[in-house]
Amino acid sequence: MEATAGNVTHNPGLSQGMARANNMDFNFNGNHYLMNRKPDYYVYLYTVSEHSQVVSRPPLISSMVLLGKKPGDKYALCGRFPQPLTTMQSNVDSNEVTPLLSDCRRFVMDIVNPDNLGMNAEDQDAVIKTITNVGNNLNDKGVFWSLNGPGASKTGNLETPTEDEIKRATARMERYYNKLVEKANTVQASKPADLPDTLTPEHHIAADYLTRNFGNQFQWHQTLSRLEDCELCGTKVKAGIAFHRTDEGGICVRDWARTVKAGAKTRAEAYDATGDDQFAPRAAATPTVAPPTKMQGDIAVAPKKDIPSEK
């Protein structure tokens, strides 16, 4: 039997038909009621972390940066979304684009944790047993959502997140940070050679946070400090410190107010060195002397006050 061979080619007509179906000119009606209705309320995204996060939820969000909070602040507002959330749906039969309403709480929950199928703010504390992704749980990284935020008082909510919401978000983040450093400590103790392959930037972020807030120290995490020349003695010191020890054992003071507040020097020493009135000795309070009392037998009688007569 002779062998036969065929030349397989694509069907141009089929390809052109699919291209037309998926790239047609849709008619968009911007006057649709759902495109102009006021939201029922807003859902607010916050973070208690100083580190920013990047999220992507196509086709609605190609890329969005959740900026971290400023040092010293309790939290930062990252954004808000209207309820209901209006998305667009194309119809290849009518060549129209029509609005589609979605529950914004479900959408925002998917941003903070795709594995969490809850719809209430309290569900952010839920323990997720089935994890389908790694690294996308922003609840563990300090991000949370709330119905409280700027303008929320118009719909019966608060203008800021509650203290309880902030504490719960901080507790979730700290639990996550402790898990990271415990894993790194275990690897360092059991198999130090694997430590470089274990550590990630998040391990160092966790170590920085725990060192700054709880004083924890980690051998695998070293904090680098910028040095500068002391303007008084010329010694290399950490930038911004109020005072430092000299080689002779004394204290070189760069900022007397902060040094006195830290307890390293007294107000009297500061006043002698600077003559600044803010460190001057405080005047002693003048004691109040009670008026003498008169004795009538065994009874003490207070002196009578002069009462002006009516005119």
Q: Tell me: do 205 and 241 sit in the same domain.
A: no
Does any domain span residue 103?
Answer: yes
Q: Tell me: do 54 and 131 sit in the same domain.
A: yes
Does any domain span residue 33?
Answer: yes
Q: Tell me: do 110 and 187 sit in the same domain.
A: no
Does any domain span residue 306?
Answer: no
First CA to last CA distance, the chain: 144
The string of pLDDT tens digits covering residues 235-262 is 888 888 888 888 888 899 999 999 998 8
Instruction: Tell me the three state secondary structure of residue 31.
Output: coil
Show which of 160, 175, 210 is a domain's final residue. 160
Does any domain span residue 302?
Answer: no
Residue 301: which residues within 8 A CB-CB, separation 6 or more?
293, 294, 295
The string of pLDDT tens digits covering residues 29-59 is 667 777 778 899 999 999 999 999 999 988 8
Q: Tell me: do 260 and 219 sit in the same domain.
A: no
Question: Quick one: pLDDT at residue 116?
Answer: 94
Show which of 183, 207, 224 is a domain's final residue. 224
Does any domain span residue 242?
Answer: yes
Cα(45)–Cα(1) distance, rounded to whole angstroms? 72
Q: Tell me: do 75 and 40 sit in the same domain.
A: yes
Q: Taking residues 90-104, what's their average pLDDT? A: 81
Total structural domains in the chain? 3
DSSP class of residue 249 equals S
Q: Tell me: do 82 and 144 sit in the same domain.
A: yes
pLDDT for residue 310 is more than 60: no
Q: Tell me: do 36 and 104 sit in the same domain.
A: yes
Domain that holds residue 171: 162-224
Helix residue ranges per DSSP H, 93-162 = 104-112
Question: Quick one: pLDDT at residue 90?
Answer: 77
Does residue 67 or residue 7 have the better pLDDT?
Answer: 67
CA 302 from centre of chain: 64
Question: Quick one: pLDDT at residue 106?
Answer: 95
Rounded to 5 degrees, φ, ψ at 39 are -70, 150
Show which of 160, 175, 209 is a domain's final residue. 160
Q: Of 140, 152, 109, which Cα lies nearest the Cα of 47?
A: 140
Cα(60)–Cα(106) distance, rounded to whole angstroms? 14
Does any domain span residue 16?
Answer: no
Cα(127)–Cα(146) distance, rounded to whole angstroms? 19
Does any domain span residue 307?
Answer: no
The string of pLDDT tens digits covering residues 185-197 is 999 999 999 999 9
Q: Tell me: do 136 and 152 sit in the same domain.
A: yes
Q: Taking residues 222-246, what's their average pLDDT? A: 84
pLDDT for residue 231 is more than 70: yes
Does any domain span residue 311?
Answer: no
Cα(169)–Cα(59) distance, rounded to whole angstroms? 28
- pTM of this structure: 0.67
Question: Quick one: pLDDT at residue 311?
Answer: 46
Question: Quick one: pLDDT at residue 175?
Answer: 96
Q: How confident is the model at residue 19 (pLDDT cuts 50, 70, 90)?
A: confident
